[in-house]
Amino acid sequence: MNTKTLDTPNNFFESKVLGHPAGLFVLFFTEMWERFSYYGMRALLVLFLTSSIATGGWEWSKAEAISLYGTYTMGVYLTPVLGGLIADRLLGYRWAVILGALIMTIGHASMALETPVFLYVGLGCLMAGNGLFKPNMTSIVSKMYKDFPEKKDGAYSIFYMGVNAGAFLGIMICGYVGEKISWSWGFGLAGIFMFLGMMQFYFTKGIFGNIGLLPGEEKKLKAAEELANPNPTVIEEKVPGHVVRDRLIVVLIFSIFTIFFWAAFEQAGGSMTIFAKENTTRILTGNAGVTFKIVDALLTIVPLGIITYVLSRLFAQTFSRYKVGNTILSCSFLIIWAIVLWKVNREFVAETTEIAASWFNILNSLFIICFAPVFSKWWESKFNLPASMKFGLGLVLLGIGFGFLAYAATSITSPDIKVSMVWLVLAYLFHTLGELCISPVGLSYVSKLVPAAWIGFMFGVYYLFIAMGNKLAGATGSMIEEISNKYSLSTFFLIFTIIPIAAGLLITALHPLIKKLMHGVK
């Protein structure tokens, strides 16, 4: 049963930033710093493990490194099942987010020490902390929009843009510093900004009103409200049991197809990073080098400028009420700007241009920053697609992206042959367009289809299926050498072309059944 009290309307929309509540953008920047730390470390992990000892790496085999990467990313999405339950029963969403961020900060600090013991301690902390952080951030968004379901798809797309703004900055800065200066500094920067993100959230958490308090505090507030207004005018929406069952079946169907998506998409941190390092032309000279430096500078500064503009809009709405949190956030951006300007200057004075292998990972985040607002408007327009067709389109686009790599790899007949970076750019473009059809939309549909009391737990269950996809990505990615030696590198990428496209066509064909089971949810 969902109960809405008419005497206490949702007032989050009274303070808007770009048409949405200011609280959404507090979450935007908190999630941005968490994703900065996650993707910054993710960009370095496989490269660090497989690099030679002479360059500071550990010289692991590709299979060992990608397998560990898959286990780690599986754990990152597995722990939210427990994290959602802990928040619902013990901590509340806010303190779960804060504690999770603190544990992740400790994890990044451990990895910066670069010893085998602290590597595993660090990865364990990152998995545990993420379990508390990730599902409860999305739960806060869901609670904020519980009275505005028609705006959820757009809200999650904007929130997802914050996710990828952090990924963009983390990969760009941590990846660059890790590869070209010091692995320890790369891992360490991830921890520093995770800590700053935690502090910003802590000092601004009051903006969420009564959302996410300790379970005991929420019960007291509810009891006080009932005492003050014993006969409120309410609207009770009773959802029949068979409808709840059918909608949960839809969540299960979507969850199964996310396994196919993430098993292919998460090759980005493993086999695609190896492809960038070993099979892509990354040393540019002459006009090509100068052109790349200019483009890279623009790709670095312009998105950061856009994010800074969003920050200024948030300041205008919230600075007077949350001075400490906003001051911490502004200091974080000053540090980022200083590092970015140092990086741009360092590259321009260098005689040759060597593109970092981790650099290609920023393309996914960059494309999301560019296209997320477009998709957000699309999902809110009359041209909005049904859920199953969004999933189908996303999987087909993902498969096409791998098709570019499969084609490019046909020309690699020896280790000395390198292919143009254009193929990776195209692959990341199509992967990103596919991701925008599935990842933020999937979160939105989970929040619409499950009963309100199960939100935290069901987000955790959804992440469980994403965890399966991530582990499968590591298992299949670790076979890159075996498949390449037995068949070809092109065959390896062709596998990830055919399977997602087939899955996309299948879920599209299931549209009539899925529509019936959703019972009017759009």
pLDDT at 14: 60
pLDDT at 238: 74
* Average pLDDT, integer, range 337-357: 91
What length does the chain have?
522
Task: Assess if residue 237 is contained within a domain.
Answer: no
pLDDT at 81 over 90: no
pLDDT one-digit tens code per residue, 491-506: 999 999 999 999 999 9
**For all residues of the chain together, what is the average pLDDT?**
87
Task: Assess if residue 78 is contained within a domain.
Answer: yes
* Distance of alpha carbon 37 from alpha carbon 516, whole angstroms: 41
Task: Assess if residue 254 is contained within a domain.
Answer: yes
* Average pLDDT, integer, range 394-401: 97
Using alpha carbons, list the distances in angstroms from residue 243 to 237, 249, 518: 13, 10, 8
Task: Assess if residue 7 is contained within a domain.
Answer: no
* Distance of alpha carbon 270 from alpha carbon 468, whole angstroms: 16
DSSP state of 280: B
Task: Assess if residue 238 is contained within a domain.
Answer: no
Task: Assess if residue 233 is contained within a domain.
Answer: no
Task: Assess if residue 301 is contained within a domain.
Answer: yes
How many separate domains does the chain show? Answer: 1
Task: Assess if residue 240 is contained within a domain.
Answer: no
* Distance of alpha carbon 239 from alpha carbon 520, whole angstroms: 12
Lowest model confidence (mean pLDDT) among 168-172, 211-215, 293-297, 477-481: 211-215
Whole-number percent of the chain with pLDDT over 70: 93
pLDDT at 469: 94
* Distance of alpha carbon 270 from alpha carbon 477, whole angstroms: 6
Identify which of 66, 78, 63 has the alpha carbon closest to the alpha carbon of residue 42: 66
pLDDT confidence tier of residue 26, bands split at 50, 70 and 90 = confident
CB 303 within 8 A of CB 168: yes
Here the CATH number for the domain that contains residue 53 is 1.20.1250.20
* Distance of alpha carbon 268 from alpha carbon 361, whole angstroms: 7
Calculate the CA 170 to chain-centre distance. Answer: 12
pLDDT at 276: 94
pLDDT at 474 over 60: yes
pLDDT at 294: 94
110 vs 316, which has greater pLDDT? 110
pLDDT at 233 over 70: no
Lowest model confidence (mean pLDDT) among 201-215, 388-402, 496-510: 201-215
pLDDT at 12 over 60: no
pLDDT at 147: 75
> What pTM, to 2 d.p., does this model score?
0.82
Q: Which domain holds residue 184?
A: 13-227+245-518
Identify which of 235, 213, 262, 251 has the alpha carbon closest to the alpha carbon of residue 76: 262
* Average pLDDT, integer, range 338-367: 90
pLDDT one-digit tens code per residue, 112-131: 998 999 999 999 999 999 98
pLDDT confidence tier of residue 327, bands split at 50, 70 and 90 = very high
pLDDT at 234 over 70: no
The pair of structure tokens assigned to 241 is 């049991």
pLDDT at 225: 65
